[in-house]
């Protein structure tokens, strides 16, 4: 009687691998798990939509650089430019001077730029001073990914920008660095 040892080993390995994969997938949090925490109110959960132009601004809260929870509603009635970025993202750093300039130029006209950093808030205050950032920065990890997706960033691009008009409607999104002239032309129409 001959034993099929190599075949038995291969079959066992396949079943163990499938079991490990199934166990790992069941342990991974679903996006919907994040939408029930304190950052995204349960009453505003919505399906992820790639093109949210023309839709109402999704609500969220995130920690600022001082560790205080800030809600996006505080900027209602202003043109809101949300810029998703990170300190380790070179294209993000290259657009900061243009963002600082836009905030300075149009703040009196009801523009509020808000940076949303994909990282912990630790060390951001020092970074903001170095880059003369004149707008608030909110930060987080998993919640920022979910919020970016809620604003149409389904590919995880950084930088990513969304603009909301004074009525609370998303009017612009862009994956990748902003073009200052293009943004300024849009802002002039909205302000």
Distance CA 146, CA 149 (A): 5
Question: In terms of residue numbers, what domain contains 141?
Answer: 32-190
- Which has the higher per-residue pLDDT, 153 or 33? 153
According to DSSP, residue 44 is labeled G
* Sequence-distant (≥ 6) Cβ neighbours of residue 108 within 8 angstroms: none
Res 10 pLDDT > 90: no
Spatial CA neighbour of 168 closest among 74, 107, 39, 80: 80
Element (H, E) at 170: strand 170-175
Q: How many domains does the chain have?
A: 1
- The verdict on residue 4 lying in a domain is no
- The verdict on residue 7 lying in a domain is no
3-class secondary structure, 187? helix
- Which has the higher per-residue pLDDT, 116 or 19? 116
- Which has the higher per-residue pLDDT, 134 or 1? 134
Residue 51: pLDDT band by 50, 70, 90 thresholds? confident
Predicted confidence (pLDDT) per residue in 88-126, tens digit: 999 999 999 999 999 999 999 999 999 999 999 988 999
Q: Indicate which CATH number applies to the domain containing 66.
A: 3.40.30.10
pTM: 0.76
b/e code 84-107 from CB counts within 10 Å (16+ = b) = bbbbebeebeebbebbbebbeebe
Res 183 pLDDT > 90: yes
Q: What is the Cα 133 distance to its own chain's centre? A: 18
- The verdict on residue 16 lying in a domain is no
- The verdict on residue 8 lying in a domain is no
Q: Give the sign of the dihedral formed by CA 39, CA 136, CA 80, CA 93.
A: negative
Average pLDDT, integer, range 131-139: 97
Task: Note the pLDDT of residue 22.
Answer: 43
Average pLDDT, integer, range 13-31: 43
Average pLDDT, integer, range 30-38: 40
- The verdict on residue 21 lying in a domain is no
Task: Note the pLDDT of residue 53.
Answer: 93
- The verdict on residue 20 lying in a domain is no
Task: Note the pLDDT of residue 48.
Answer: 54
Name the percent of the chain lying above pLDDT 70.
Answer: 74
- The verdict on residue 5 lying in a domain is no
Residue 86: pLDDT band by 50, 70, 90 thresholds? very high
- The verdict on residue 61 lying in a domain is yes
Predicted confidence (pLDDT) per residue in 136-166, tens digit: 999 999 999 999 999 999 999 999 999 999 9
């Amino acid at each position: 009687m001959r034993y099929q040892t190599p075949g038995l080993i291969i079959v066992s390995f396949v079943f163990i691998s499938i079991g490990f994969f199934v166990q790992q997938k069941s342990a991974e949090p679903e996006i919907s798990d994040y939408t029930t925490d304190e950052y995204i109110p349960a009453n505003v959960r919505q399906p992820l939509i790639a093109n949210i132009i023309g839709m109402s601004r999704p609500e969220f809260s995130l920690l600022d650089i001082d560790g205080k929870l800030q809600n996006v509603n505080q900027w209602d009635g202003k043109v809101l430019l949300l810029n998703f970025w990170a300190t380790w993202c070179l294209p993000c750093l290259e657009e900061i001077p243009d963002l600082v300039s836009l905030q300075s130029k149009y703040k009196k006209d009801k523009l509020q730029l808000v940076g949303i950093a994909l990282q912990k808030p630790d060390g951001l205050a020092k970074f903001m001073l170095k880059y003369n950032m004149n707008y608030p920065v909110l930060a987080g990890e998993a919640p920022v990914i979910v919020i970016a997706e809620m604003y149409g960033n389904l590919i995880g691009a950084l930088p990513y920008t969304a603009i909301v008009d004074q009525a609370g409607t998303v009017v612009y999104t862009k994956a990748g660095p902003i073009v200052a002239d293009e943004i300024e032309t849009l802002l002039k129409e909205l302000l």
